[in-house]
Structure 1
Amino acid sequence: MSIKRILILLLAIVGTSVARAEDGKFTIAVIPDTQYYTDYRHQTEEGFPFDARELFFDQMRYIAENAESQGGDIAFATALGDVWQHASQRMTPEYAAQGYKHIQTYLTSLPQIHPDSRVLTVEMPTARRGYEMIAGKLPFSVVPGNHDYDSNWADSRWPEGQGGLPNGMLAYGGLKNWTSIFGADTPFFRKKSWYVASYNGGADSAQLFDAGGYRFLHIGFEMAPSDAVLKWAEGVIKRYPGLPTIVSTHSFLNRAGERRENPAVDFKAVNPVHNNPQDVWDKFLSQNDQIFLMLSGHQYGQAHRVDLNRFGHKVYQVLSDYQGRRQSFVTAAPARANERETIGDGWMRLMQFDLSGPKASVQVKTISTYYKSTASKLPTYSAFYKEKEKPTATDEEFIASDEFALDLDDFHARFAPARSARGDGRK
């Protein structure tokens, strides 16, 4: 079947339109952790049963083909980190000079954790190629996840079995690899009118996009942003007051819907200059009234919650992470089903906004470009994934955790439509 035919079928399933989105209606594509697609170990040249990178390329091709500039309704894309899998070294000199020491643990012996130079020759070029597919089609953001850092090690202060950590604690540092692909001065973002601010070389960044009659501000954070990063973001918000604002970062919610870090990957525990998810809420999200949506990945599964900021307005927080899914591998190599390989199966999120009526809303859909289906329309969805992700849920409850509506009932009261004469959406 041709790529064009596949895209037409998927459009019919998802229910999006090939025509330009109506006023008030548009979609944001949310790309969760892609590390297992780009992983050099998951390609046929390494003996894997298929090229997992093709699942990643299919996702990016789908976004490109359905961007508003191409007649579709996707106005913006945000990637939630862990774009590739491996670090390129055990510890960068700057961290060794600060007194950090590495100890061998079970986690750092795993092939997906151990540094490998093929991140430079296979994984990073694969990531670049994927984002080249959407470059020039729509504004987008990419934030770094823990796997995107230059180095990782097991912190010697947290040995296995102590402090409630059976496998110790992982530490990460350095973003030279990251900024070489996604930094502010790279072709993806340099001189782009919609890329309006950056910090730490582009590890933190801000974008503008127009959709549904509004101008939106998006801010992307590095993992566990420091107070200095939060101060930078405050400055960005002051430059664009009154714009409905979305924030993306790699780690924020866990699968239980709590603002809590994975205890084995706790940047703040390693270095207190970092802020944990609750800190980010207390210091930044709850203090800035124009922020209405927070997106994150990192922790396997899906969850969402709504909290009131200090002004009494709703902030929607959504976790999307499908990297633990592996049915594509089991289907391709049933004799190897006991191996602990996970892929992601092409799942990602579409957030379909409708701002046209008196009550704004977002329909969250979970789609797979591998299965050419949404969660609710794939008959085997619960059979494939529920036991590992939400074993106590009914099939209906499990699907409802992946396809649901957010009622933005205070959106119109909080935000004014963009004014064409001024072009900045300010009230």
Structure 2
Amino acid sequence: MSKSTDPGPDRRSLLQAAVAVPAVGAAATVLGTGTAAAAPRLGAAAHGGFDTGSPRFALAVLPDTQYLFDADSSDPEPLRATFKYLVSERREANIAFMTHLGDITEHGTPDEIELAADTFRTIHGKVPYSVLAGNHDISGGTDDQRGDTAYLKAFGPRRFRTMPTFGGASPDGYNSYHLLRAAGREWLVLALDWRASDKGLAWAQGVLDAHPTLPAVLTTHDLAWADDDGEARLSDNGRRLWDRIIRGNDQIFLALGGHYWPPGRTVLTNDAGNDVHIHITNYQDRYYGGAGMIRLYAFDLARDTVDVQTFAPWFLARDPAKRTPLEEETIELTGPTDRFSLRIDFADRFKGFAPVVPPKPRPAHRVMPRGTVAYWRFDADGLAAGGRPGTAVPAGTVARDLTGNGNDLTVRLLHGSAAEVLTWSADHHTDQPAHASLRFDGGKQPDRGAVLTTSATAPLNSLKFRNGFTIETFVKLPDPYEGDHAWMGILSWEGRNGDAGKTTGWSKDEPTCSLNVTPERFLQFVLYPDVQDADPTSWSHALPVGRWTHIAVVNDGRRTVMYVDGSKIARNPSQPATGIETLGKPFVIGGTQFDEKFGQGFYGWIGDTRLVERALSPREFMLLDD
């Protein structure tokens, strides 16, 4: 109940959810008079098409439907269409749950409530959901201690007891909570009454205390209001909820309310210094009382983003040639409070109550499969230096080849560079076996840097890899990425391809094999094969800055394929490539020669690096198997 509108016609374009490996569910805990929820079952089929393990899932939010259940002018068809849509699209959009924000009906009469309850049977048992009372469903002057009502009979705990997400309800029955298994973890949804009493808030705090590691979404009817500017402001009741339950519980990262219009949103800072997103969702002022309009919050934990869309399935299902002008306008709303994206670093946002436990370092012997010819890591096992982050690694320091094959690396400073151009770091890729790396501060104007090279007699200098190879490394580019570092080398073999009689390349002074970074931060892997007179080259997409990347170059004796973070890139050459035309000259980490001279060194971090004398599959890479 409130005022004003917000136009926003456009066509629908829903985010499609990806499919991933399902994860095991967990049983819910009971508080108050609620009934224990059964443990969610395995697999998408057992969840009506919902995939519990995919990093992408959707939370459906249904605001005030009161004008669809208004005495003798009721029309449940728009809501039935919404429910049918959610059921039919559950697999495609990976819909985990639906939450209603209250004011199901206009007057809360037994007839209105009964019609609404019957309409909810369209979705019941097919998509789990929560419902809470709005001021039009019960006496608006009461709180959750009001006693028995038509609403409680139809939408109280008894309705949800067989629902696999149902965790329990407060003793009065007007507040409830649900536990969802989505994106491989559990989430908590709190559904609080229009006016939660002190007892109700104490119960809600008890639920949070009993599930201290679960990220929580709080839903209620009266939370915030907004003017046409779309900036949400806490209502009096919203301020009470903020002070009593939201701000002091870091778990609550999203709070949703209806009641008022127009819609709005804001971000508040809780007592832990973290963002809490406050949203108003209500479209009862729109054509046909909102027509059962739904809002989808599409969580994408791979992109650390929540994409939000608002649309009316009832109008969407109609023949476009027969839609009226008002139906066309209301199919989808695309204003800034109706269609938007939230950028949330979920691991960082949740670390205060559910920190990600980092994997332990893996010993070297566990990451040296058959055919490993060299493996270097820069922790205490592999590097004869270390200490505190930022400690300089001086010239002459040895990085041991942990295979025992004699391919030790020795630090060499380029062009009289200061020792600080190479430092030890505890920074590392999450999936890297060793929890350490080297920080290279190479650059141009003047050229500076450091490299690690094998000795003149190392076996790796002359290996030909005619049966295939896998070269792996972990790198990270600085953020900000400052200066000109075009064509810097990550790793290479010394020597000139022209000295091996190669004629096809850009220049005969290029080395016979090198992995480099272009001006656009693309990876370039240049190979002069041992058998063919050719220079097949792989090109990746742009590397991100400030983030670790795993790189693998795999050759099966016939052709070369590059993988970035376990994914095959697009621009791999189809040219035949057998072996590497090594010339008996050192292998190098941290730079690439031209005409047997080093210019700039690498700029960024390099971690574990491994060479295997055969083609590995992605599941055999140094990345941890999820």
TM-score norm. by structure 2 comes to 0.45
Match of 1:58 in 2: 81
Is contact 1:18–1:66 with CA below 8 Å preserved after alignment?
no
What residue identity is the alignment partner of 1:133?
Answer: T
Partners of 2:196 and 2:131 in 1: CA distance: 15
Alignment counterpart, residue 399 of structure 1, candidates 330, 335, 350:
335
- The answer as to 2:349 corresponding to 1:409 is no
Match of 2:137 in 1: 148
Alignment counterpart, residue 258 of structure 1, candidates 233, 239, 254:
233
Match of 2:452 in 1: none
Partners of 1:237 and 1:86 in 2: CA distance: 32
- The answer as to 2:374 corresponding to 1:351 is no
Match of 1:265 in 2: none
Summarize deviations over 1:330-372 as a string: whole Å, max 9, x none: xxxxxxxxxxxxx213322110000024xx1111100111321
Q: C-alpha displacement at 1:40, in angstroms?
A: 2.6
Is contact 2:17–2:56 with CA below 8 Å preserved after alignment?
no
Match of 2:110 in 1: 120
Secondary structure of the corresponding residue to residue 160 of structure 2: coil
Is contact 1:246–1:293 with CA below 8 Å preserved after alignment?
yes
Partners of 2:356 and 2:218 in 1: CA distance: 19
Partners of 2:148 and 2:253 in 1: CA distance: 29
Q: C-alpha displacement at 1:278, in angstroms?
A: 0.5
* Stretches of structure 1 lacking an aligned partner (at least 5 in a row): 1-10, 44-51, 88-118, 156-171, 262-275, 329-342, 386-395, 420-427
Partners of 2:18 and 2:324 in 1: CA distance: 26
What residue identity is the alignment partner of 1:180?
Answer: K
Match of 1:205 in 2: 176
Q: C-alpha displacement at 1:132, in angstroms?
A: 1.4
- The answer as to 2:214 corresponding to 1:278 is no
Partners of 2:313 and 2:148 in 1: CA distance: 30
Partners of 1:316 and 1:203 in 2: CA distance: 24
Partners of 1:354 and 1:417 in 2: CA distance: 19
What residue identity is the alignment partner of 2:155?
Answer: F
Q: C-alpha displacement at 1:379, in angstroms?
A: 12
Cα 1:120–1:72 change in 2 (3 A) is same
Alignment counterpart, residue 366 of structure 1, candidates 278, 299, 310:
310
Is contact 2:137–2:151 with CA below 8 Å preserved after alignment?
yes
Q: Percent identity?
A: 30
Partners of 1:382 and 1:403 in 2: CA distance: 18
Match of 1:113 in 2: none
Higher relative contact order (CA 8 A, sep 6+): 1
Q: C-alpha displacement at 1:192, in angstroms?
A: 3.7
Match of 2:151 in 1: 178
- The answer as to 2:67 corresponding to 1:36 is yes
More strand by share: 2
The residue correspondences of 1:17-416 to structure 2 (distance < 5 A) are 23-43=54-74, 52-68=75-91, 72-87=93-108, 119-121=109-111, 123-149=112-138, 151=139, 175-184=148-157, 186=158, 188-256=159-227, 257-261=232-236, 276-326=237-287, 328=288, 343-357=289-303, 360-372=304-316, 399-415=335-351, 416=354
TM-score norm. by structure 1 comes to 0.64
Cα 1:223–1:175 change in 2 (3 A) is farther
Q: C-alpha displacement at 1:138, in angstroms?
A: 2.8
Q: C-alpha displacement at 1:200, in angstroms?
A: 4.2
What residue identity is the alignment partner of 2:110?
Answer: L
* Stretches of structure 2 lacking an aligned partner (at least 5 in a row): 1-10, 20-49, 318-322, 358-626
Is contact 1:28–1:74 with CA below 8 Å preserved after alignment?
yes
Is contact 1:287–1:310 with CA below 8 Å preserved after alignment?
yes
Is contact 1:348–1:366 with CA below 8 Å preserved after alignment?
yes
Match of 2:398 in 1: none
Cα 1:354–1:175 change in 2 (3 A) is farther
Q: C-alpha displacement at 1:412, in angstroms?
A: 4.2
Partners of 1:56 and 1:293 in 2: CA distance: 25
More helix by share: 1
